[in-house]
Chains A and B, each alone.
Chain A
Amino acid sequence: MTDRDDVPVEPANNPAGAGAAPALDPATEYRPPRNQWWDVWDQFKTHKGALVGAAVFILIVVAVFLGPYLWTIDPTYIDIRAKNQGPSLAHPLGTDQLGRDTLSRMLSGGRVSIAVGLTAMLLSIGIGTLIGVIAGYFRRLDGPLMRLTDLFLALPILPLLLVAVLLFRDMLSAAFGPEGGVFVLIVSLIGITSWMQTARIVRGDVLALKEREFVLAGRSIGTPSRRMITRHILPNVLSPIMVSATLGIATAIITESALSFLGFGFPPDFPTWGRLLFDSVDRMQLYPERVIWPGLAISLTVLSVNYIGDGLRDALDPRIRGR
């Protein structure tokens, strides 16, 4: 049985191995069973924008999370004699009005922005999937949950976010410290106000899945609802969830930056990209490059994430895949 043991392992080691098997036995056209994620990856590879986007996003994430270990200047260190410097070897992106190094501020700002984006996305996907699956699976809860979703969709998000940040900032700062409090606040606010699209898409997919035979078969052998959902429903709605997850990162980063830009985000000595942009707008006549860097970082991150989402949507759609 060595032959059978080899087969599932081989494509994992060698993604291009699918072409090798027909060469051995062209008459039967035998193709070893292949994990579907390899098909997804093959399709994803054909989307150039998505590939470049993924590379750029990974680069930004790595730079932002490992960069501070290589570029060790403290972003809050004030060197007032070296204020407002242009680019130099000591400060590749120059310094700000208090002599803080712009590069290290960009790196630690990016760390916060991306952390906010990822955590808020996880929260919003979590809530959205939960509500979508429950609404789609249990008919009795469908009506109320979808009305709730409609109500949330009708809320004016940005004004409410501004108000809520102002209201709860002090409360949470006392509980988690000034930075931690604002982080928790912004992440949970973005998460709570951005789950609706995911919930709607997931609900639609679950409703369609519920009519399929495998669900009927599963139910007929007495599978409890909880296991039906975790074993059979959830894996099948993974693709729309993944697409809205990538797009969710983009929205979360933009929302956080918008809040910081309006002055309702993180405290001033705690840089994020939005905050850096907000701080440099006052001096943009003299030092326009300080506006460009954080803005470029935000735009590039969001652009790459959007491209990844585009590519994923194509790659995860079985009707497009393989064309």
Chain B
Amino acid sequence: MLTFTIRRLLLAIPTLLFISLVIFLLLELAPGDPMAQVPLTVPPEVKERMREALGLGEPVHVRFWKWLVQFFWVEPLHLIDNLFGTALAEGQQRVISWQSRSPVMDIVAQRIPQTLWVVGVAYIVAILIAIPIGVYSAYRQYSWFDQAGTFITMVGFSVPPFFSGVLVIVIFSVNLGWFPSIYDTTHEVNDWDSFVVQLKQMIMPVMVLALQITSQISRFMRASMLDNLGQDYVRTARAKGMTERVVVLLHVLRNSMIPVVTVIALGIPAIFGGAIITEQVFKVNGIGQLLITAIQANDLPMVQTLTFIFAVLIVLFNLIADVLYGILDPRIRYD
């Protein structure tokens, strides 16, 4: 298991390098010019020097290498500096945003809590809803609950978040006026009333995200439970005289959770991607919204870094899912 994990970790390095190269080369083709906003009265040679100051004068491979060094060496050092108060990265060039002229990672660090808060809560809510639905649907297969559950999950699976989000805004904030349509990230929770306000503004984005995740996970949960309910060990457990609750919730549920746990792990990066749309609908200023504004403003270092963070998340969670599967299922051995 350990060798497998190490091998997968080593294999992740060329994958990430390839992805960073793809992203870098794609952005290399970008038609935009960071000097487009500079007044025409600035002479061309000054513009040229400004461009060089942004690090644009050098050939492609040199810039790619510099970006790699900045991303994988300088930024982690900076993180250590911030955490432990050391001065390892003193005076080293960081990845700078062209929009705000401040380090990209600082802006990302400001934005990530909002995204994590909304996405994370949505994911937990979705899992908590999905698993009981899946278990009960499978246990009472073809009952009215199962039929309704299958239909609702199919709808939740098919309705895109940019429609369900807009729909709940129309219903609950325009018509009923229960919840605010815009997520206010400057809001601070310090007493009960502000907590209620926070709860109110979180309900809609969280539920929209959760609807989609719930649909996927509960479908998986149901299928996996159905696979296991027909197994011999279930009959054995019943024949031993165990109560139905123990059979279903202890024996079957545990075994059915194995594939579901990996699906949950695999879904996390996709949720960050999906959050781009939800953030746009509810005006949450998280990293998805940061990415959209950066693309529109032609802020290449920012786009590069954010896209790469998404890629790292995908590779990381694929790895976690594989390892988890090996740990949870003793039948799987990667040797």
Contact = CB atoms under 8 A, between A and B. Distances in A.
Contacts of B27: 163, 167
A306 interface: yes
Contacts of A157: 273
A292 interface: yes
B167 interface: yes
A288 interface: yes
B158 A155 contact: no
A298 B164 CA distance: 11
A281 B276 CA distance: 17
A281 B311 contact: no
B285 to A, nearest CB: 15
A258 B162 contact: yes
B99 interface: no
Contact of B158 (A163, A164, A171, A306): A306
B303 interface: yes
A254 B163 CA distance: 10
B29 interface: yes
A70 B154 CA distance: 33
A266 interface: no
Nearest to A301: B158
B158 A299 contact: yes
A284 B169 contact: yes
A262 B19 CA distance: 24
B174 A254 contact: no
A160 B166 contact: no
A153 to B, nearest CB: 8
Nearest to B310: A156
Contacts, number: 119
A162 B170 contact: no
Contact of A299 (B23, B30, B159, B318): B159
A170 interface: yes
Interface in B22-72: 22-23, 26-27, 29-31
B280 A159 contact: no
Interface residues of A, number: 43
A210 B4 CA distance: 29
A166 B314 CA distance: 23
Given A150-B15, A163-B26, A257-B162, A284 B292 contact: no
B160 A298 contact: yes
B155 interface: yes
B315 interface: yes
B18 A277 contact: no
Give the dominant DSSP class at A's interface.
helix
Interface in B160-183: 160, 162-163, 166-167, 169-170, 174-175
Interface string A156-179: 111110111011101100000000
B19 A159 contact: no
B277 interface: yes
B136 interface: no
* Most A-side CB within 10 Å, residue of B23, B26, B158: B158
B160 A284 contact: no
A277 B277 contact: no
B280 A302 contact: no
Interface string A236-268: 000000000000001000100110011010000
Interface string B248-283: 000000000000000000000100011011001100
B174 A285 contact: yes
A302 B160 contact: yes
Contacts of B160: 254, 257-258, 298-299, 302
A164 B29 CA distance: 9
B291 interface: yes
A285 B182 CA distance: 13
Given A156-B311, A291-B170, A170 B277 contact: no
B198 interface: no
26 contacts: A154-B15, A155-B19, A155-B22, A156-B310, A158-B276, A160-B26, A163-B26, A163-B307, A164-B26, A167-B29, A167-B31, A170-B31, A171-B31, A250-B158, A257-B162, A262-B292, A277-B163, A281-B281, A284-B169, A288-B170, A288-B174, A295-B159, A295-B162, A306-B157, A306-B158, A307-B154
Which 8 interchain pairs have the tightest Cβ spacing? Answer: A156-B310, A295-B163, A303-B158, A302-B158, A288-B170, A261-B162, A299-B159, A159-B307
Given A162-B291, A163-B295, 12 more contacts: A151-B15, A151-B19, A154-B15, A154-B315, A155-B311, A155-B314, A167-B30, A258-B162, A262-B276, A292-B167, A299-B158, A306-B157
Interface of B: 15, 18-19, 22-23, 26-27, 29-31, 151, 154-155, 157-160, 162-163, 166-167, 169-170, 174-175, 269, 273-274, 276-277, 280-281, 291-292, 295, 303, 306-307, 310-311, 313-315, 318
